[in-house]
Amino acid sequence: MNSKTSNNIATGVIYFLVACVLAILVFLLGYILITGIPHVSWHFLTSSAQSFAAGGGIRDQLFNSMYLLVLTLIISFPIALGSGIYLSEYAPENWITGVIRTAVEVLSSLPSVVVGLFGFLLFVVNFHMGFSILAGAIALTFFNLPLLTRSIEESLQDVSELQREAGLSLGLSRWKTITGIVLPAALPGILTGIILSAGRVFGEAAALIYTAGQSAPTVNYGDWNPMDSASFLNFMRPAETLAVHIWKVNTEGVTPDAAAISSGASAVLIVVILLFNLLARMLGRWLYKRMTATK
Amino acid sequence: MDEIKHDLQNPSKATHQDLFGKGITYLCIGFVSLLVISILYFITTRGLATFTTNHVSLWKFLSGTNWNPALLDKHGNPQIGALPMIVTSFSVTVLAAVVATPFALGVALFMTEIAPEKGTKILQPVIELLVGIPSVVYGFIGLSVIVPLIRHSFGGTGFGILAGTLVLFVMVLPTITSLSVDSIKAVPMFYRSASLALGATRWQTIYKVVLRSATPGILTAIIFGMSRAFGEALAVQMVIGNAVLMPHGLLTPSSTLTSQLTTGIGNTTMGTLPNNALWSLALILLLMSLVFNVLVRIIGKRGALKK
Amino acid sequence: MQEYDYNKTHIIDIPLELAMKTENLQVFYGDNHAMHDASLEFPRHRITALIGASGSGKSTYLRCLNRMNDRIATVKGKIMYRGMDINTKNINVYEVRKHISMVFQRPNPFAKSIRENITFALKRNGIKDKNELNKRVEESLKAAALWDEVKDDLDKSALALSGGQAQRLCIARCVAMKPDILLLDEPASALDPISAAKIEDTLMELRENYSIIIVTHNMQQASRIADYTAFFHMGHVLEYDVTEKIFTTPQIKATEDYISGNFG
């Protein structure tokens, strides 16, 4: 076979492979949206789930997912920010930093089910928290921390060294230089990182089934006292999320319309995550423009 | 004059701010490090209990093919052979990587060598979307599309390693692709120009020059993909069949380490042998994750030496 | 490149009031001895230029003067300022940098508005009064000859300024802190000739009130603006004298070769 023919064949094969991947994605999204959207109705979004009867909704699961996401970000962002600043700004070049970097890498590559089991062992069992939103939020924090830390570190690293020198040469402390100059300049990147991590957290289930639990007790959406056990804000109640719900109705198989619920719930999940992705892009671009624009 | 002298020789607000800032960030990173240490410690001690407290032999655990921790066999030993799950986990992982790699390389080459601008513009979002789809959704589609498809085409239940492989292949595709793109992009431009100037075709250049020099990076990408496949729990659990049997082919129901863990932990009591045995499975997962990490490092070092 | 005798130097003492001086300053990057025994005196309210080929150590030396090298190098020897050695552990570097401020080679405005670029550090140093802040903004921008160009756009992003404007903003930012000494590290080298000329004019004006030490590889620039000039070569200061003498009757062979364009 001469080189020209093999060149053409190889190019053809690459085009074919790319087409396959595109087809897979189109199929996935198409399948979820086409089978799912018809099941998404106002009723579906606003009524509670049914275990043994058809026609259940996903109100509580949707709320739980959102609530867990917010709690997770509240806990993980400050820690990730501190760690990201340490790694980018303060970490000296020595073996301790090497060990810490390895630790972060190990944490990010741990299977989420292992992280979930650790959360289960430590908080649900040892600390007697039981299956609770708090335990779930902490497990998700562990899952989220290394990824968020890394993205914050990278955003900070992208800020030119000149900015730091400028701040320091004016007699500002390192800390003020970082928080007042470097951090604002890195903001678009950091926000994009947060929103993308929010998408991951929102769809995560394996870390949650043994921490936040697999049941969604009826809660009172009018009760704003987080200490109250019936309140929707209560930290200590079990809280099945949307992703866990999809897994559960499919594996337990006692709900008659499991397929319909799963496709509806998957569609909602995907739409929310797509929105997160879109939002991340737009916000990043908008902030960047605002910072460099002539007002 | 003396005032300036005093200022210069004494700590100021800035000094305190810096101490404060350092303190806070050290605390954060300390927390993260502590977290990693405690995860390793807790999972390890729990996972070893099967062998230290229940005196199960490690060899039997790794080579036994019967998994029924609650029951004793005819010699009075607990039946905890994890081999079926280990074999299944490795099978789906390797198969998924084998299927995904050509696709990933095709997409990566398209994005870097064939149509860099257009390719990136179209395929970058494709990769990001594939990453963004949650694993339960992959599992659900596997369950409602792939499993019936296999059932109709090949008979049987449709659950099994093949279904697991097909689901995992799509899930690891974006990981392998994006890391391959990075490593192919890192190949210096003049390698390509030199090869093309010598009269090589584009494919010869890609095959003999670009892929050759990107090999360590691509291997790393594949290992990262395998690491993701090995640790994936719910998507696999939904399509693998969850029967703890030695797999006799790609079509019989079986069980991976992760699927057994997710199904089992809730049904066993803390501290009992069946429960301890599950933690031992978790320990295998943890150790494998570390092994993948080490492999990536070794390849990284080798690759760096060659250059 | 020719080897020169680094033991043969010609370094004068300054017969004027001093802004600062160094005694036997040495810099090490790890094992690399980047600067050998530099002892120089800098006069108050004059411009001193540090010249030499790239890699001669002039920027390294300059960055020591307000301790910007702290994190990347080991600096030995004395840096005397107001009768104190400021190269010691117990000196508060943040205070040092308020008095000895630095402008860098590449313009580095903050990703903030023009006004905030100037007020940011001022506010952090306890100046809260709005009138005072506005006054400082106007004064410093005038001092840096930028006021007329930007006075209507103070709230626009500083990143939208041209390179020359941005560099003058960086000078204004330092001037607003009312430092004692201004260190400039090749401030005009990244700019076009017209912007560079504006920077030179600005420096000549600032000379009235500030002691200025400027690193430059542009010999014309040094001869135009500097009162005194030091010649650096391979990590040694070989000659230091009145600028005119350096350029007309250099005492050292290396200096002569450099200014006549034999290397560098």
pLDDT value at position C264? Answer: 62
Report residue A250's pLDDT band, with 50, 70 and 90 as the boundaries: confident
CA distance C258 to C264: 7
pLDDT recorded at residue A216: 79
Q: C-alpha distances in angstroms, C179 versus A222, B8, C183, C213? A: 60, 14, 10, 13
pTM for this one?
0.88
Render pLDDT for A52-74 as a digit per residue (tens, 0 to 9): 777 778 888 999 999 999 999 99
Q: pLDDT tier at C1 (50, 70, 90 boundaries)? A: low
DSSP assignment letter at C238: E
What was the pLDDT predicted at A220? 77
Q: CA B18 to CA B2: how far, in whole Å?
A: 25
**A193-230 pLDDT tens trace:** 998 899 889 999 999 999 988 887 777 777 777 777 77
Q: Where are the domains positioned within chain C? A: 18-108+182-259
> pLDDT digits over A260-277, tens only?
888 899 999 999 998 988
Q: Is the pLDDT of residue A246 over 50?
A: yes
Contact at CB, C104 and A169, closer than 8 angstroms? yes
Structure tokens at B298: 């070794």
Cα gap B285→B282, rounded to integer Å: 5
Inform me whether the pLDDT recorded for C148 exceeds 70.
yes
The answer, yes or no, to whether residue C144 has pLDDT greater than 90, is: no
Check residue A294 and give its pLDDT. 45
Model confidence at B200: pLDDT above 90: no
Across the interface, which of A14, A247, A259 has its CB nearest the CB of B136? A247
CA distance B253 to B242: 6
Query: How close A162 comes to chain C (CA, Å)?
Result: 6
The H-assigned helical ranges of C125-242 are 130-143, 147-150, 163-176, 193-206, 219-225
C159/A171 Cβ within 8 A: no
| Average pLDDT of the residues in B36-63 | 89
Residue B79 C-alpha, separation from nearest chain A C-alpha, in angstroms:
23
- Beta strands B67-72 and B78-80 are antiparallel
Could you tell me the pLDDT band of residue A154, with boundaries at 50, 70 and 90? very high
The position carrying tokens 């949206």 is: A33
Residues of chain C found within 8 Å of residue B19, distances taken between Cβ atoms: none
Residue A295 has pLDDT above 60, yes or no: no
Q: What are phi and psi of C10, to 5 degrees?
A: -135, 100
- What dihedral angle (degrees, nearest 10) is formed by the CA atoms of B232, B235, B239, B240? 10
* Residue whose C-alpha is closest to residue C58's, from C181, C171, C185: C185
Amino acid at C25: L
β-strands C181-185, C74-81 pairing: unpaired
Is the domain covering B80-306 a CATH 3.30.365.10 domain?
Answer: no
Band the pLDDT of B30: cuts 50, 70, 90: very high
According to DSSP, the residues that pair with C52 across neighbouring strands are C232
Q: What is the mean pLDDT of chain C?
A: 90
C-alpha torsion A191→A194→A195→A200, nearest 10: 160
Produce one character per residue of C207-242: b if its CB has 16 or more CB atoms within 10 Å, e if not: beebbbbbbbbebebbbebbbbbbbbbbbbbbbbbe
How far apart are alpha carbons A213 and A254 in whole angstroms? 18
Percent over 70 (pLDDT), chain C = 99
The torsion of the CA quartet B268, B269, B270, B274, rounded to 10 degrees, works out to -50
For chain B, percent of residues with pLDDT exceeding 70:
98
Q: Tell me, what DSSP letter sits at residue B44?
A: H
Average pLDDT, stretch A151-175? 92
CA distance C91 to C72: 18
Average pLDDT over residues A173-195: 90
- Beta bridge pairs of residue C81: C84
Q: Which residues in chain B have Cβ-Cβ distances shorter than 8 Å to A29?
A: 129
Whether B5 and chain C come into contact, CB under 8 Å, resolves to: yes
Provide the token pair at C40.
Answer: 């120089």
What does the alpha-carbon distance between residue C96 and residue C212 come to, in Å, rounded to a whole number?
16
* Helix, strand or coil, per DSSP, at residue C36: strand
A107 inside 8 A of chain B by CB: yes
**Per the CATH hierarchy, to which homologous superfamily does domain C18-108+182-259 belong?**
P-loop containing nucleotide triphosphate hydrolases (3.40.50.300)
Give the chain B residue whose CA is nearest to the CA of A253.
B238
Size of interface A-B (CB pairs under 8 A): 250
Where residue A121 sits, what CATH number does that domain have? 1.10.3720.10
CB contact B134 to A (< 8 Å): yes
- C211-215 and C47-52 strand pairing: parallel
Q: At what angle do helices A59-85 and A183-203 cross, to 10 degrees?
A: 140
Q: In angstroms, rounded to a whole number, what is the distance separating the alpha carbons of residues A119 and A133?
A: 12
Q: How far apart are the first and last CA of chain A?
A: 62
**Chain B interface mutation, best of A175, A214, A248, A257, highest count of B Cβ atoms under 10 Å:** A175
Q: What are the beta bridge partners of residue C242?
A: C228
Is A173's CB within 8 Å of B15's CB? yes
Number of inter-chain CB pairs under 8 A, A vs C: 76
R_g (Cα) of chain B, nearest Å: 25
Q: Is the distance from CB of C208 to CB of C45 less than 8 angstroms?
A: yes
**What tens digit of pLDDT does each residue of B216-234 get?**
999 999 999 999 999 999 9
pLDDT at C147: 92
Please give the average per-residue pLDDT across C202-228, as a whole number: 92
CA separation for the pair B69, A60 (Å, rounded): 37
- Contact between residue B282 and residue B258 where contact means Cβ atoms under 8 Å apart: no
- Name the DSSP letter for residue B251: S
Within 8 A by CB and 6+ apart from B284, the residues are B47, B82, B86, B257
Per DSSP, the three-state class of A252 is helix
For the stretch A93-122, pLDDT in tens is 889 999 999 999 999 989 999 999 999 989
Which H or E run includes B253? none
Nearest to C97 among A168, A176, A295 (CB): A168
State whether B25 and A86 contact (CB < 8 Å). Answer: yes
Collapsed DSSP state (helix, strand, coil) of residue B214: helix
- Can you point out the beta strands (E) in B148-272? none
Residues of A in contact with C155 (CB under 8 A): 295
Give the tens place of pLDDT for each residue, B227-275. 999 999 999 999 998 888 888 888 888 899 999 998 888 788 888 888 8
Q: Does B7 touch chain C (CB under 8 A)?
A: yes
The candidate with the shortest Cα–Cα distance to B157, out of B147, B172, B170, is: B147
> For residue A140, what pLDDT is reported?
94
The predicted pLDDT at position C244 comes to 92
pLDDT for C79 equals 93
Q: Is residue A70 part of a domain?
A: yes
Lowest mean pLDDT among A39-48, B80-89, B185-194, C158-167: A39-48
Over residues A115-142, the pLDDT tens digits come to: 999 999 898 888 888 899 999 999 999 9
Q: How far is CA A172 from the centre of its chain?
A: 36
Residue in A170, A180, A292 closest to C173 by CB: A170
| C11-56 residue pLDDT tens | 888 888 999 999 999 999 888 888 998 999 999 999 999 999 888 8
CA–CA min distance C121, chain B (Å) = 11
> What per-residue confidence (pLDDT) applies to B11?
84
The H or E element containing residue C24 is strand C18-29
DSSP per-residue codes, A35-81: HHGGG--HHHHHS---SSSS----HHHHHHHHHHHHHHHHHHHHHHH
Identify the three-state secondary structure at position A220.
strand
